Chain A
Amino acid sequence: MHKRPISKTELLGRLAHLEAILCRLSSDHAETAHKNVLVADCIEGAKSELRAAVKSLAADDLADSLHLSNIAWLQINFGRRVIEAESIEAVLGEGIFLELTKDEKWQHTKIEALLKRMEQMVAELLDVVQKRDAS
């Protein structure tokens, strides 16, 4: 929902501005060493919403176009925020990123954690055996 109604000319400017911001986001993402899947999804999502928004504008459906431009902006903003957070970590930190998607790396971490827990359970069982043996 928008604060106030918006004219066709304003909407054209808004969509063009969003395209420019999206271009910058895409090129910044292409330059990052750590290719975040979520950012790539945001870029793809925003591209598709913007395409649909311009199509609605061409069909003179201003309300739908504005609605779609809002969704595009949300995706662009999310992608931008994530890329900003990661660029700070990449430059000043140790390059250890908090992943926001369930990717293969995450499954790998999960497997590692589950195997570790199983080892712990066996170690605890061996402890019980030793305690009983001692008593």
Chain B
Amino acid sequence: MDIFKQLEGYYLSPKALAQKGLDRLVEAMADTNRDLQTAENEYLDCANQYMARADRIYERALAAFKDEEYEQCKALIEGSVVYLQMAVLIVQSSADETFDAGFADGSAECLINLLLESIAKTKLAVEAANHQVSSAVHRCILRVVALYNQALLSLRECEDDDARLSADAGIHLLNWVILQIEIENNETMFELHLPSHTGNKFDAQMKEFAKDLAECRKLFFQRGKTLAPRAKNHLIEAEKYFDLCLENIVTGDFDDTETNIAAGMTEVKLATELAARGAAKVSEDPEATSEESLEDRVKSFKSLAHKLISTARKSNVREPEVFEKKIDAAYHYFMRACDHLEGGFLAEAQRLAKAAYLDIDFAKQIALTKHKPEYRDL
């Protein structure tokens, strides 16, 4: 910038200064317009949008000038220049050039970037290897994405610590997701890179906890139906503690994280010990030989029916009233079948269970097919 331009503010009146600014802006706009007309690349539409915005701000600057609001006019001219510069720079840019984000190590941005890249890597690995993902694991994946969104939202609000904690919890949950996919598919995927400086001093213990939990799950997969229900209960408890730890991390409650990691790891140990006893020992466990009580079956069935109806309401199932009626009927048949079984009326119990089955099948046709539903033989 030449010296005369720098000193303009001292020897020109605000009006003259604003007028000069407007003249220069018009000149720059004409130049930019000419450049854009001759440019040919994929970013031209975007550049033209910036040009149009610059033009709109120029109109506002002109109106301010006419209203003798010279300070506002000057500010608007400067704003318009930024949009003009953007238009010029966009057509000169290239998406092929590497972008240097320049995030500082350990920053919230750095951690969120690690999380999003790890999510995409997991997606790629699952799709490339055609891994099966159970609905429980898929729910975990959706939670990881929700934690990413939560982290981004905190970052937007300039709450960097909260953003860091959400991203950290997301990374730990993703680590657990990967371990579960490995177990369910009996194949290794990749070791997730876990950050070392997240502000969460329990990162290493959480990783250890997830690893132990995965080993225990693996054992459960191998033992199959020969497991004692008690062992399963301990695993369920351990998984609940893992979830609690994630919540503790998100809220930054590290004291509770420590307590819950310890309690969760104890549950894993108990579950592993019981599972490791194997089929022979399991038979000695009185709980293992007893069938799931009829009362429990009815409870589980009822809970499934509730979940199904609430999911169907959210997903625009056709003929929703008929669908709900059929699920409700299936639940009542199932409940009565259990009652009759308990009373020893086996033939009636069988008839009612079959009726429940027919209603479920009818509901299934409504939700999952396009043809007219009908009662089909078993």
Question: CA–CA, A128 to B307, complex, Å?
Answer: 25
Partner of A3, one of B102, B130, B316: B102
- Verify B123–A129 contact, CB threshold 8 A: no
- Verify B341–A128 contact, CB threshold 8 A: yes
The answer to the question of A107 belonging to the interface, with a C-beta cut-off of 8 Å to chain B, is yes
Name the CB-closest residue of B to A21. B95
Q: List 18 A-B contacts (CB under 8 A).
A: A4-B102, A20-B94, A21-B99, A23-B43, A75-B152, A77-B101, A77-B113, A81-B120, A85-B120, A85-B124, A106-B142, A111-B315, A112-B368, A114-B311, A115-B360, A118-B330, A119-B361, A126-B357
Instruction: Collect the chain B residues with CB atoms within 8 Å of residue A128's CB.
Output: 291, 341
- Verify B158–A27 contact, CB threshold 8 A: no
Interface residues of A in 7-65 (CB under 8 A from B): 12-13, 15-24, 27, 38, 54, 57-60
Question: CA–CA, A115 to B135, complex, Å?
Answer: 13
Does more than half of chain B's interface fall in helix, strand or loop, or is it mixed? helix
- Verify B142–A19 contact, CB threshold 8 A: no
Q: How far is the CB of A125 from chain B (nearest CB, A)?
A: 5
Instruction: Collect the chain B residues with CB atoms within 8 Å of residue A2's CB.
Output: 102-104
- Verify A71–B156 contact, CB threshold 8 A: yes
Does more than half of chain A's interface fall in helix, strand or loop, or is it mixed? helix
Known: A23-B42, A93-B127, A115-B308; 18 extra A-B contacts, CB below 8 A, are: A13-B89, A57-B82, A58-B79, A70-B109, A74-B113, A74-B116, A81-B116, A81-B120, A92-B128, A96-B130, A98-B141, A100-B119, A107-B315, A111-B312, A112-B368, A115-B367, A125-B334, A132-B346
Interface residues of B in 132-182 (CB under 8 A from A): 133, 135, 138, 141-142, 145, 148, 152, 155-156, 158, 160
Interface residues of B (CB under 8 A from A): 42-43, 45-46, 50, 57, 78-80, 82-83, 85-86, 89-90, 92-95, 97, 99, 101-104, 107-109, 112-113, 116-117, 119-124, 126-128, 130, 133, 135, 138, 141-142, 145, 148, 152, 155-156, 158, 160, 291, 297, 300-301, 304-305, 307-308, 311-312, 314-317, 330, 334, 337-338, 341, 346, 349-350, 353-354, 356-357, 360-361, 363-364, 367-368
Question: CA–CA, A56 to B61, complex, Å?
Answer: 18
Name the CB-closest residue of B to A15. B86
- Verify A121–B297 contact, CB threshold 8 A: yes
The 8 closest A-B pairs by CB, nearest first: A81-B120, A16-B89, A107-B315, A24-B95, A58-B79, A20-B93, A1-B107, A85-B124
